Structure 1
Amino acid sequence: MVTKLFGFAAGLLALSALTNAHGSHSNDEAPSDDWATRHMIEEHHIASFDPTSFFILHDYDSSGTWTPEEIRKTYGLNDESNAGVSEEKKQDAVRAVFELFDAGNTGFIDREDWLAGIAAGKRLPDLGFGPGHHGDLEYEYEIHHFEQYHGDDTTEADLTHPEDIEHFRKHDEQEDAAIALEKLEQIQVVAGNIPQKFRRNF
């Protein structure tokens, strides 16, 4: 099966200890004292890592800093598993992380902030939003289901679990949406149908 995995930065090549742990999309597990470790095991299948590697892996735009949006992504706050969480609670979660690691109140967390916080004994808190699902559709399905219940010799006829069916349903939805968008983009604009107040250069 074709996989679509995140590309790791060169500094992450040292991360070699993989585990067989598989995370759940349920967010009702007991809080962890070290959420980063839980996240790495369940979301990346990596049990051995250092703070610098963790920072690089979650610096999604390679800017050298973590932004509020990157914290949201790392904690899986944009994932469908947290769709029922209010925006206020999500902002509170991001704020809690910044209060720990953004000592200068700069609005971002750079690598030095992160390493200084870790050296001082600070850890990313478990805020109750699960292990941090932040992969795309294919990645999340592969790492949380396919690797656990299927193998390289799996055929399409074997993919009958509810998770398999839901995965392909989402694929169909994405394909249908792409086709609909393509059709819309091919529709020519008829100037006569545009109200006069919205017309420019027609």
Structure 2
Amino acid sequence: MAFAIITRVFAASLALAGLVTAHGGGGSHQKPLQVDPDADWATRHMAEEHHIGNFDPASFFTLHDFDDNGFWDQQEILKFYGMEDETAKDVPQSKKDEITREILKLMDSNENGIVEREEFMAFVVDKKGTLPDFGTGPGHHWDIEMEYEIHHWEKYHDENTKEEDLIHPEDIAHFKLHDDLEDEAERLEQMERQAIVEQNIPAKFRRDT
């Protein structure tokens, strides 16, 4: 178990290592699409999170059917509304409940607690409905590296950025995350090497030194 944790953390730290190289390695970086401020939530979400300006309802549904099983469960709804992202850590459960409740109310015509593809298409195409804006942002649902890429790096940096240029609060926080992951990986690796991990011994079996 401990080794598996170390492996996951260490892999994560390696994936995040070399930030400037990874983001500024000469590849093409898309700039955020300009979106009408009065555009509906789905349009803004697709532009800001996916850099997609033209899409149809079927594409939107498929893109957010994360497990590709033909329907949105309540966890998927919360995910594409950004409720699993770090930025939503202070969103109260009551707000999350409101999101799923309202979406199901709008689309779940057979009242089975999920939004099936046909139900979504009927809502958007037949009823000309749009996904509501709950005031919780554009719906972050990428991993931490991609979120940094599309919401900060592409706006303020490019392939010519040097390490000394990364001074924005978002840059500092991202580098700190790298350091924290590496520190955690090192700590777990050291624990794994110990024959006995003192912290795992119940207090009643420990001898005072």
Report TM bin, short chain.
Answer: 0.7 to 0.9
CA deviations 1:27-55 (Å, max 9, x no partner) are xxx8x562110101111111111111111
Task: Kindly state the Cα deviation for residue 179 of structure 1 after the two structures are TM-superposed.
Answer: 3.0
Gaps of 5+ in 1: 4-17, 24-29, 197-202
What corresponds to 1:180 in structure 2?
187
Report the Cα distance in structure 1 between the residues aligned to 2:133 and 2:189, rounded to whole angstroms.
42
Cα gap change, 1:94/1:185 in structure 2, threshold over 3 Å: closer, same or farther? farther
Report the Cα distance in structure 1 between the residues aligned to 2:191 and 2:101, rounded to whole angstroms.
40
| Among candidates 84, 92, 95, match of residue 86 of structure 1 | 92
**Structure-to-structure mapping, 1:101-120, within 5 angstroms:** 101-119=107-125, 120=127
Tell which has more relative contact order, 1 or 2 (C-alpha 8 A, sep 6+): 2
Number of corresponding residues:
173
**Structure-to-structure mapping, 1:1-202, within 5 angstroms:** 1-2=21-22, 20-21=32-33, 34-119=40-125, 120-188=127-195, 193=201
Contact 1:19 1:46 survives alignment (8 Å): no
Report the Cα distance in structure 2 between the residues aligned to 1:182 and 1:99, rounded to whole angstroms.
49
Report the Cα distance in structure 1 between the residues aligned to 2:145 and 2:134, rounded to whole angstroms.
26
Contact 2:32 2:154 survives alignment (8 Å): no
Question: Which amino acid letter does the alignment assign opposite residue 156 of structure 1?
Answer: E
Cα gap change, 1:186/1:117 in structure 2, threshold over 3 Å: closer, same or farther? farther
Contact 2:31 2:155 survives alignment (8 Å): no
Report the Cα distance in structure 2 between the residues aligned to 1:114 and 1:108, rounded to whole angstroms.
10
Question: Which amino acid letter does the alignment assign opposite residue 33 of structure 2?
Answer: A
> How high is the TM-score relative to the length of structure 2?
0.73
Question: Which amino acid letter does the alignment assign opposite residue 180 of structure 2?
Answer: E
Q: Aligned-residue CA RMSD in angstroms?
A: 2.5
Cα gap change, 1:69/1:155 in structure 2, threshold over 3 Å: closer, same or farther? same
Task: Kindly state the Cα deviation for residue 186 of structure 1 after the two structures are TM-superposed.
Answer: 4.6
What corresponds to 2:7 in structure 1?
none
Cα gap change, 1:19/1:148 in structure 2, threshold over 3 Å: closer, same or farther? closer
Task: Kindly state the Cα deviation for residue 169 of structure 1 after the two structures are TM-superposed.
Answer: 0.9
> SS in structure 1 opposite 2:55?
coil
> How high is the TM-score relative to the length of structure 1?
0.75
Contact 1:22 1:143 survives alignment (8 Å): no
Cα gap change, 1:164/1:150 in structure 2, threshold over 3 Å: closer, same or farther? same
Task: Kindly state the Cα deviation for residue 122 of structure 1 after the two structures are TM-superposed.
Answer: 1.4
Task: Kindly state the Cα deviation for residue 2 of structure 1 after the two structures are TM-superposed.
Answer: 2.4
CA deviations 1:131-152 (Å, max 9, x no partner) are 0011111111110111111111
CA deviations 1:45-75 (Å, max 9, x no partner) are 1111111111111111111111111111100
Please state which structure has a larger fraction of its residues in helix.
2
Report the Cα distance in structure 2 between the residues aligned to 1:142 and 1:22, rounded to whole angstroms.
17
Cα gap change, 1:92/1:182 in structure 2, threshold over 3 Å: closer, same or farther? farther
CA deviations 1:162-195 (Å, max 9, x no partner) are 22111111222222233333444455568xx569
